[in-house]
Structure 1
Amino acid sequence: VENLYVAKNRNRQQMEDTPAFYREIEAEELRDTAWEKPLIHYDVSTLDPDMMKAMEKLRKMNEIYERLPALDCGACGSPSCRALAEDVVRGKARMTDCIFILRRKIKRLANEMMMFDNGFTDGTEEENENQ
């Protein structure tokens, strides 16, 4: 995963370094790369066709985004924390896909297990006292 700014800057630099005659594509060359079947458009920008549900999902998405670290590291598979929040709202991802959220959850569960373990004895101490 690369920093978004670095990637954009690298692409811009490559375009500037490429001679203009390589950037121009002839119409005949485009015909060779044309699709045989028409592309089907899927509107991915709407959260829901129903406006009220979409507004509710947007509210949830913003709440989820506030709980994420906003590092845009991409370790979860989404390009940004905002995209992960959107995927969570759409049901295509989970909060624990974020390694930082997962680490917090594992730490909390480990602490709960330690508290649970400290609250109970295995009975060997009582047996030793009775003998």
Structure 2
Amino acid sequence: MDSVRLDKWLWAARFFKTRALAKKAIEGGKVHYNGTRAKTSKSVELGALVRVPQGWDLMEVEVLALSDQRRGAPEARELYRETPESVARREREAEARRLTNQAMQHPPRRPDKKQRREIHRFQRQQDNE
């Protein structure tokens, strides 16, 4: 295989469930090809760097193989390799999210009627100021 469209490759590599979602992400400027925004019809080349959003994270991968057919996840992983910088950044951000969530104290129970009234009264005062 000599050339594959970027949206097809992202779909085949299982970054997106459908080609339509891949196309939407590319057109929205979420996917970068070799450091720049790309068009949906961009031909993917071996060795290219592609930055793709994955949930809260941003993965930067190097293209190792081309495919326009969607296969199983183990085969899809062979199409790319995540850069070491990307792995380190994702792990740092995941740890920061975990620590942030730990620091947030959730109330032991829901507010009762009196507490809800106080909350609403406070919010109204903030809106009037």
Question: So what's the TM-score if we normalise by structure 2?
Answer: 0.31
The structure with the greater share of residues assigned to strand is: 2
Question: So what's the TM-score if we normalise by structure 1?
Answer: 0.31
The structure with the greater share of residues assigned to helix is: 1
Higher Rg: 1
Higher relative contact order (CA 8 A, sep 6+): 2
